[in-house]
Amino acid sequence: MAYIISCGIKEAEYSYTQQEIQKFVEQVFPMSSREKNRLMPVFENADITSRQFACPLEWFENSHELEEVNETYHKISLQYAKEAVERCLAHHKLINKVEASEIEHIIFVSSTGIATPTIDAYLMDELQMNEYVKRTPIFGLGCAGGTSGVAKAFEWLKGNPESNVLLIAVELCSLTFQHNDKSASNVVGAALFADGAAAVLLAGDNSPLVNRTKGNLPYVLEASTRTKPHSQSVMGWKVVNTGFEVIFKKNIPKLVRTFWKEHIEDCLLNSRWKKEDLPFIIAHPGGKKVLESYVECLNLNPSVLEKSKNILNKHGNMSSPTVLYVLEKVMQEEHKKGTRSLMTSLGPGFTSEIVQLEWV
């Protein structure tokens, strides 16, 4: 199986209030009064107070070609990944320091830029990692990437119980902003998306790293993936000459109440868990309506998703790292042995990822 033994996050450099971002978008996109009345309320209703970007707002005043955008992604994502990993390997509340040279496998998740070789190859040199490290870079998971990365690390460690895996998720969603696209999807993206990075260290049952931890640990018991047939158009990117154009369909909250509900009920039934067994859920906060749909479809106490709501409020939706920000907050608190929880995220596919955890 697998222990989650540490987690580290890296916030993007430039922080702005939601009001500042809304005002900026109104200036960049001259709109009629009718368009403003139709589109701008998404900023006010998002339940977000602040977000962080990799570039200052002034950078977005002009359009940028894909080459420049991707070079920016490459440079900054490497920097953010490095800082997230360093914080993960030396998190004073969670673990006695682990050296980067001890890492045996990297899973690198990102969907907001292109690099070949992928960023993890450059990161190995930056951190002086062992040249025999196994690498699994993954592109295209979007918001599901954080939970999916944990699931894939768990599955690999089942067959390699003496090893460890470093999961890294980096997204610079702001760089995908399309300067001349006044579609509802682009405006919604501008109202929700932000930038950030996170790293999670997992260890197998027999890994020596488990002995360096502090306090009780979340233990991964099972992982499940479900993809809805013929749903590729629900969310994702359309690659255009100027970069990545966001795709968002209005029916995502409805899919939470139907598709995701069926998935999580199946997971609970198979494990003989009850929703009442879960004092909190480590949920990717895709947006206010998504969180409300989680609560509604399972008739949950809203406090179960309090940390997810707080992360959305302070950071916005950073795509794949966001659920790992929630995990990092949860892991800083002491939880008694036997505490149960779920990690869950939704992403392009349309895919639902669920990981079952128990503190040991």
Q: Amino acid letter at 56?
A: P
Catalytic residue, candidates 7, 88, 143, 173 = 143
- Structural contact between residues 221 and 347, judged by C-beta atoms closer than 8 angstroms: no
Output the DSSP codes for 239-298: EETTEEEEEE-TTHHHHIIIIIHHHHHHHHHHHT--GGG-S--EE----HHHHHHHHHHH
CB 179 within 8 A of CB 187: no
Q: Show Cβ contacts of residue 26 under 8 Å, excluding neighbours closer than 6 positions.
A: 36, 40
DSSP 8-state secondary structure symbol assigned to residue 312: H
Q: How many CB atoms lie within 10 A of CB 14?
A: 16
Q: What is the DSSP letter of 202?
A: E
Query: Is residue 131 packed enough to be buried (19+ CB in 10 Å), middle (13-18) or exposed (0-12)?
Result: exposed
Specify the residue for token string 């920097």: 79
Q: Is 267 a catalytic residue?
A: no
Q: So which residues are the catalytic ones? A: 143
